Chain A
């Protein structure tokens, strides 16, 4: 499935993450995080799992992380993807 419309979820408050999705030719994951050195791989893994669960194969996923935990990243990405997909109908 492709990301066909722009959508976002989350905030830039501490311990949250603002995730924006938009159409792209392939699947692109852009992660900005103050804890990238320690948790970059883990953040990417969580995102890939959520995207796989929605069968997303293309789209640009942009995370502006403020030190969010995995459960927050997962929830925000799910919300962003659902918001994007719900406009397709």
Chain B
């Protein structure tokens, strides 16, 4: 017994028979506080291993040491659903020869299920695990709540290593990932920095434009006809998206509407809404703050879901397919409603789909909320740097200057107008922004391809080029 517990990451690497060229996977539930990816990769480098592929559900700024691992060929390929701006800048500069593969939160587990992606060894940051590898994210000093993105890794990887700073006696009853899927357990001092894992409280934005757009979005949802008993909803954790949920809560409470579920990344604000009766259930793939972590631990109506159940295009019944409304952000939008969330206005990588295109495809009403300009750069451009989410899955764009409705949604536009919301064409919005800011000189990155954007069905929807400067 207890052969699973090994004394160090290096020993676990030996036991898994790690070799040059293997694919190692990581989940991002510890967000910008994650230590595990860096710890494991430091040990990998120590062993002199080369040519490794990292498949992480997301790369954050805290993973900046990756850049050095790429420079010395320890790592020669990257796959992720999201990449923070710090590592993104180096990738955009072309430090990695092979293009990064960007997937969506639903596409990643789907690619593992359908054999389009393979993991040799999965390293699972485990806030708590027992000695046999029954893992939970809900307990321990580095608790992160849901472990939704780690389920597929545990199931499909050839070898699975749990890395923990809270080893519990066997058996841990309230586990998320079962011992049957785990090969080794490595206790370490700390798997993450709690301050970076979850923010204490998510605050509603005070930015008047964010609040204005949030009110417009909530009124648009109310006008859409979808806001009735049984309503289901998802929103991002960005300032205006959170504010929109708050504005929606006021409408739901005033009109006594009892929704069915809220899904995706869960914040304490959604926890509050569930408590107040706005939603029966929370379907949680990722906790964003402490309130959400406490709730998923204590509230039986707050359920953990896997990324596959959340958003996989392979299953017939992913949660996103039951969504009424999703509110999403954008760095760029074009006049066909295509959305960019991968690169900034200079074409530098600073994000990724995450669940953006999955929820846009699944939800009945996909709302993009974004200011018409940021520091003089207009939101709506003739040619985007990157297409993350195709325009035919996006229904409306809410800006402070009015709401543009996708021309394929004639009835929706009428409903908004009847409720005295300002409906305006996306071309007019573009013109307003260019009158205020001036027409920006088009920038086109023409270097080699540094990343491929894989749509949820596995097709390559766009590529990202090396940045000029």
- A interface residue numbers (CB < 8 A to B): 14-15, 34-35, 37-42, 66-70
Contacts and interface: CB of A to CB of B under 8 A. Distances in A.
Interface of B: 345-346, 374-377, 436-438, 440-441, 443, 469
16 contacts: A15-B375, A15-B376, A35-B376, A38-B376, A38-B377, A38-B440, A39-B376, A39-B441, A40-B441, A41-B441, A42-B438, A67-B377, A68-B376, A69-B376, A69-B436, A69-B437
Contacts of A66: 375
- Would you list the 8 A-B pairs with minimal beta carbon distance, nearest first? A67-B375, A38-B440, A67-B376, A38-B441, A35-B376, A42-B438, A37-B443, A35-B377
B375 A38 contact: no
Interface secondary structure of B, over-half rule: loop
Given A37-B443, A38-B345, A38-B443, A70 B438 contact: yes
A35 to B, nearest CB: 5
Nearest to B347: A37
A39 B438 contact: yes
A80 B194 CA distance: 47
Contacts of A15: 375-376
Nearest to A66: B375
A39 B441 CA distance: 7
B400 to A, nearest CB: 14
Given A15-B376, A39-B440, 6 more contacts: A15-B375, A34-B375, A35-B375, A35-B376, A38-B440, A67-B377
A15 B375 CA distance: 6
A68 B436 CA distance: 11
A41 B395 CA distance: 36
Contacts of A35: 345, 375-377, 440
Residue from the set A35, A40, A67 with the largest chain B CB neighbour count within 10 Å: A35
A14 B377 CA distance: 12
Nearest to A65: B376
A70 B436 CA distance: 9
Residue from the set B346, B376, B436, B443 with the largest chain A CB neighbour count within 10 Å: B376
Contacts of B436: 69
Contacts of A38: 345, 376-377, 440-441, 443
A19 to B, nearest CB: 16
Contacts of B440: 35, 38-39
Nearest to B443: A37
A48 to B, nearest CB: 15
Nearest to A35: B376
Nearest to B469: A37
Nearest to B345: A38
